Amino acid sequence: MKTSFFRKLLPFAFTLVLMGGDAVAQLAPFTYNEMLMLDRISGLSVDGSGHYALFNVRATDMEKNKGVSSLWLKDLSNHASPEVRLGVSDGGATGAQWSPDGQTIYFLSGRGEGGTTQVWKTDVAGTTATQVTRVPLDIGAYRVTPDGKGLVIALAVFPECKGDEIACTVKRNAERAADKSTGTVYTKVFVRHWDTWADGTRNHLFYLGLGADAQPVALTDGYDGDVPSKPFGDEGDFCISPDSKTVYFSAREAGTREPWSTNFDIYSVPISGGVSMNLSAANMAWDASPRVSPNGRTLAYKAMKRPGFEADRFEIQLRDIATSKVTPLATTWDRSVEDMQWSADGKSIYVTAADVGCQRLFRIDVKSGVVTTLSKDGHMDAFAETPKGFVFLKSALNSPAKFFAAKPKATLIDVDATDLTSVNRVLRRLEFGVYEQFSFPGWNNETVHGYVVKPAGYVEGKKYPVAFLIHGGPQGSFGDGWSYRWNPSSYAGAGYAVVMIDFHGSTGYGQAFCDAISTHWGDRPLEDLQKGWAYALGKYPFLDGDRAAALGASYGGFMVNWIASQWKQPWKCLVSHDGVFDARSMGYSTEEMWFDEWDQGGSPFTEPALFDKFNPALHAKDWSVPMLIVHSDLDYRIPVEQGIGAFTALQAKGVPSQFLRFPNENHWVLKPLNSMQWHRTVFDWLNTYIGEGSAKEKR
């Protein structure tokens, strides 16, 4: 089997001089306590000249139980100079963007009178904030027009207020606030989505000139849909032509079938207002991320082919704006495009895509469709082209996102790149587990990949308990990247070896590999997990197969609930976070129906037997392995009753079990103190059954 070399963030201990003598300071193991307090870098952008890089740093205030975001500036002309935190951050600042001339930094903040989120601005000194917009609603997203004369902003308005959306929405909001009754009548779904109940508003776009007397101009007046999309859309859902005359956006018309539809389309609308035009009506599947070429002649966007499937391959479509001719790009490249940017010269498109356990950067030539790999390994979190080469944010299994500058004309931009990061200096005194990718023959004798992570402080010849982590999605991946929720390095720092398998259904291995899981949740992936576990035990003698736990969330939680009856022999304990317990009930109560019905192969209303094929609830009578259940009240993707049902089954059978419930979290646990409690509870559970204490008791 092809195997990568072992890698480590800090291969050597550093030397301290103490009281005139030399002493080697031992690195402390990286644990979840350090992880939760790390500064989180995101939101990279570079001014047009390539002189300054701007990014966001989110610190953790554990005492106040919140993250604190700030804007940081880096002078790219002097790599030795430290990043500078901008003083305007003190009032709250997110979503920073450059003006076209690079002299002004725009950002979102709620610091003004009335407390609504508005657009503000500052200069590169970042000491003084000036309010730019004063609309009576929160601005959820925005873009600066290329001519610098205005903004396109997104506001949540009532679409039935057509012709006067802003004022009408303000009035209706005031009437609701004054109404003492609390009931809501719904006439169609979604009634709730992700973690929020529907309130009747839609995200709509408006153009707002920067003149003193400018009034917002509706661009999607009365449209029955959201721009940006919910729940995770942002300014990436729309763009502005280089001549500042046209806005392009991606949106789904809701109608009465929104929870069953993935039919997002690309629209264009004059920035002065008027009727929008659907540019991709012929494609009934997902169209997204419109991007106009620097010369304004070509619109690039991502498109899937199969309606109702959210994990189909995104390939690039090129639309000639003058002739309306659409041409697909790089059709034989079997990877799904994620982030996408035009090159400065308009001859290429840069994209990121999952690729064999990594998230790499690629260049696609617009004329030939030739794809060139631009990064080697790890996870490319963000990138920007500058006149002197790329700057980028990159993470790995053993490193949170860090800020780098590529060497000029580097073939692979992350090889010998210059680390420009000054935050998170604590990492220099922490030890991470060495990790390695491996592969083996899985279901259908097809190659399946996985990762193994040695415990921090690994000692040759010693056996270690194992955390077997199962990723969610299920169309996702546990690869060479960083996470603040499921972080393999935190398990390695606690003394556990880690094994992760990218089973059939995982992304980054071709569309056929991804498709293989649909209607096969409980057999093909299970076979991969079993074969991967057996292969890892045979290849890595430091894995203690007698002290192992399986953990997973979302689909991973489903798989934990499934193996609790179907493959319980290796596990001393289990952790199921937000997992599906009763597949039928899930089919009736989840909000995005297109996902469940595609992956199960039909509707729970008409074909309930399909949902029983791999239904953990029907096999709970065979459960016997101690299990920790975690679930949250605001999880509308996999409702909390799924966790309650699993815990009830365990308690009814007398199986050792615990239920950790968060009343104020969604499908993810995000609040700092809740995340701390999550990690403490999970690691206490593992230590009870497979930790060093449990091993001593057995001896």
**The pLDDT value given to residue 21:** 38
Question: What CATH number did the domain enclosing 511 receive?
Answer: 3.40.50.1820
513 in a structural domain: yes
pLDDT digits (tens, 9 = 90+) for 16-57: 333 333 344 689 999 999 999 999 999 999 999 999 999 999
Phi-psi label, residue 444: left if phi above 0, alpha if psi -120 to 50, beta otherwise: left
Q: Are residues 561 and 681 in the same domain?
A: yes
Share of residues in the chain with pLDDT > 90 (%):
93
pLDDT digits (tens, 9 = 90+) for 171-208: 999 999 999 999 999 999 999 999 999 999 999 999 99
Q: Are 172 and 161 in contact (CB under 8 A)?
A: yes
Q: Are 68 and 79 in contact (CB under 8 A)?
A: no
308 in a structural domain: yes
**The pLDDT value given to residue 9:** 35
Q: Are residues 415 and 437 in the same domain?
A: no
**The pLDDT value given to residue 112:** 87
Q: Are 106 and 120 in contact (CB under 8 A)?
A: yes
How many domains, the chain? Answer: 4
181 in a structural domain: no
pTM of the model: 0.94
**The pLDDT value given to residue 516:** 98
695 confidence band (pLDDT: 50, 70, 90): low
Q: Are residues 409 and 270 in the same domain?
A: no
**The pLDDT value given to residue 113:** 87
Q: Are residues 470 and 388 in the same domain?
A: no
**The pLDDT value given to residue 165:** 97
Structure tokens at 456: 């921090």
Pairing of strands 287-292, 298-303: antiparallel
- Short-list 695, 566, 589, CA closest to 637: 589
Is the confidence at residue 8, as pLDDT, over 50? no
Structure tokens at 189: 């779904």
CB count within 10 Å of CB 541 equals 11
3-state secondary structure of 497: strand
Q: Are residues 373 and 411 in the same domain?
A: yes
H helix intervals, 116-192: 165-178
Q: Point out the domain boundary residue: 285, 300, 319.
A: 319
Q: Point out the domain boundary residue: 319, 341, 376.
A: 319
Rounded-to-integer distance, Cα 223 and Cα 240, Å? 19
**The pLDDT value given to residue 25:** 62
Q: Are residues 654 and 560 in the same domain?
A: yes
10 confidence band (pLDDT: 50, 70, 90): very low
494 confidence band (pLDDT: 50, 70, 90): very high
Residue-number span of the structural domain to which 606 is assigned: 430-698
pLDDT digits (tens, 9 = 90+) for 415-466: 999 999 999 999 999 999 999 999 999 999 999 999 999 999 999 999 999 9
pLDDT digits (tens, 9 = 90+) for 535-581: 999 999 999 999 999 999 999 999 999 999 999 999 999 999 999 99
What CA–CA distances, in Å, run from 643 to 194, 560, 578, 589?
Answer: 16, 12, 7, 13
Mean pLDDT across the chain? 95
Q: Are residues 300 and 398 in the same domain?
A: no
Q: Are residues 155 and 291 in the same domain?
A: yes
Q: Are residues 444 and 517 in the same domain?
A: yes
366 in a structural domain: yes
Structure tokens at 108: 């979102």
Q: Point out the domain boundary residue: 319, 348, 382.
A: 319
Q: Are residues 632 and 539 in the same domain?
A: yes
**The pLDDT value given to residue 26:** 86
What are the strands, taking DSSP E only, across 637-694?
Answer: 657-662
pLDDT digits (tens, 9 = 90+) for 151-161: 999 999 999 99
pLDDT digits (tens, 9 = 90+) for 285-333: 999 999 999 999 999 999 999 999 999 999 999 999 999 999 999 999 9
Q: Are residues 528 and 565 in the same domain?
A: yes
**Residue type for position 309:** F
Q: Are residues 384 and 533 in the same domain?
A: no
**Residue type for position 377:** D
30 in a structural domain: no
**The pLDDT value given to residue 692:** 81
